[in-house]
Amino acid sequence: MTIPKALNDWVRESEALCKPSRVVWCEGSDTEHAALVRDMVKSGVLLPLDSKTYPGCHLHRSDPSDVARTEHLTFICSEKKEDAGPTNNWMSPADARARVRPLFDGAMKGRTMYVVPYLMGPARSPFSKVGVEITDSPYVVASMRTMTRMGTIALEHLAGMGEFVKGLHSLGDLSPERRSICHFPREREIWSVGSGYGGNALLGKKCFALRIASVQARDEGWMAEHMLIVGIEDPKGNVTYVAAAFPSACGKTNLAMLVPPASQKGWKVWTVGDDIAWMRVGADGRLWAINPEAGFFGVLPYTSSKTNPNALATLKHNSIFTNAALTADGKPWWEGADDPAPSHATDWRGQPWTPSSGTVAAHPNSRFTAPAAQCPSISPKWEDPQGVPISAIVFGGRRSKLAPLVYQARDWAHGVFMGATMASETTAAATGAVGVTRRDPMAMLPFCGYHMGDYFAHWLRMGERAPKPPAIFHVNWFRKDDAGKFLWPGFGENLRVLRWIVDRAAGSGKSVESPIGHLPTRDALDVTALSVTPPTMDALLSVDRTAWQTELAEQSPFFDKLGDRLPQRLRDEHATLSKRLK
Ligand code: O2Y
Ligand code: MN
């Protein structure tokens, strides 16, 4: 395979800068992967897990100071600060290069530099894009092999398109003081140093598929969104595809892999993707979506046969567990797993642990990296080069009061307003205060590679470009009564809400007007075999005008922060809602 000159030149430049002891081009084969894993087991980077219950699985422990994405060390390096907007950290490209280049200088001395070509999106899809990650972490290489289509297939695509996103990554000394994740949107380039964990290091995921791709999408007229994609199959076999955006701690992966309860006979939910959707207007005027990823990087704590049986089945083989606890019989364990806490284990830091240690055994952000193809609910269409047609977009949040179980936007612009004003209450799983309402428009706040005001304008433009745009909805599975008890059972029962969404998207489904949008009529949702009483349903679908007026007032500071880049259309939607609530 001939390597394009631009790629060769960049690899040579990176080699001269990072000074590794050797350079390895990754082809993505099984033999190559087996050798890499063997070396990692030898050096202690990976620990093999019990081969009977977890065949092909390994445990990795990251540096204890390197356990999650670090938003405060993540930068958008556009020429002008105003192009990154007030919601991103900004550095000028020149300052970023001057500050970070010395951290790469000699950073790979005595280490191997891996060149990892990868494809985001299905093979032979016109919508897929190529990235190349240069890294000194074999754990990153093995993870990228699961999360993307890695190696020769990417070089084949590159031969046809020429363009690729450059990602230079080094573990550096893993010190948080010398950690930076810099994005250069104009150059379509990423520099990440000082972290070996998740979104900071697997550059295809948040860095490319969202931050850089959101800029490509704006420039090229498509959408790169932080959305799961599911197909909902009715008992007659018709499948409706839905994309949904949720802030963290709202059960996004659980929804992506939903198992219909026994009462929903004949219904199926197919997983197309659990985190990212790239969407374009098709020749038929609809939005078509692909999942650019090939694997899941799912959170472990509270993943169980109750919350997500499909995730459990997926992670049982060929998976890497990062920062899980290790039982004496070589199995991974995490809080909220099916198995009770082991009497003795090794915690995520590698220390002896017992239930009376007073600490968690698995890190709260411990993860599994598993191939999407292993998921029992994986859609037969998940690798379709054309993607799947999206009939509905769903925004969601965790709101103990205020937001009804489900409501529908009146039109695209109103739906964009709904996404732009999304908010969610923090949980104990996130760092910081619990129960605080955080604004996270379209769940993209940490992932939009440019000014949020321009991003909303792009959403509005996409509605104009798509003659048959998806209908837009908002859901809230987390509404509570005055005693603090959840009103809706959630999990698999959320299919009942998805069914109303599917009906509405098809032009049926009973609804009633409200100031905030279309609500289901009291009898529109199937609640057979549920203990949801009519008064509970009333509470779930109620709109408290006073609370909504407070909500509107709380939205204003965020909108004001975006200044004159906030589209007037969204200010108009805000004013219209205010009038409707009076
Ligand atoms: O902390 C990390 O690096 C992982 S965060 C993550 C992982 C998978 C999917 N989504 C997310 C996210 O933060 O949205
Ligand atoms: Mn995510």
The count of residues in the chain is: 582
Residue-level pLDDT at 433: 74
What is the reported pLDDT for 162? 83
C-alpha 482 – ligand 2 centre gap (Å): 31
Q: Which ligand is nearest to the CA of 446?
A: 1
Nearest residue CA, atom 8 of ligand 1? 297
* Pairing relationship of beta strands 58-60 and 47-48 according to DSSP bridges: antiparallel
List all residues whose CB is within 6 A of at least one atom of ligand 1.
68-69, 197-199, 248, 275, 297, 365
- The residue whose C-alpha atom lies closest to atom 14 belonging to ligand 1 is 248
pLDDT value of residue 428: 64
Closest ligand 1 atom to residue 274 Cα is 9
Strands 320-322 and 367-371 come out as antiparallel
Low-confidence ranges of the chain (pLDDT < 50): none
Residues pairing with 438 in the sheet: 424
Quick one: pLDDT at residue 435?
Answer: 81
Q: Which of the listed residues 297, 438, 447 should we mutate to test ligand 1's pocket, taking the one with most ligand atoms within 8 A of CB?
A: 297
**Whole-model pTM?**
0.97
Nearest-atom index, ligand 1, CA of 202: 3
pLDDT for 429 equals: 57
Q: Which ligand is nearest to the CA of 66?
A: 1
CA distance 256 to 417: 24
8 Å CB contact between 308 and 257:
yes
Q: Domains plus CATH for the chain?
A: 5-45+69-221 (3.40.449.10), 225-295+380-581 (3.90.228.20), 296-374 (2.170.8.10)
Q: Encoding tokens for residue 92? A: 């000028």
164-184 burial by CB neighbour count: b if 16+ within 10 A, else e?
A: bbbbbbbbbebeeebbbbbbb
Supply 58's token pair.
Answer: 């390994």
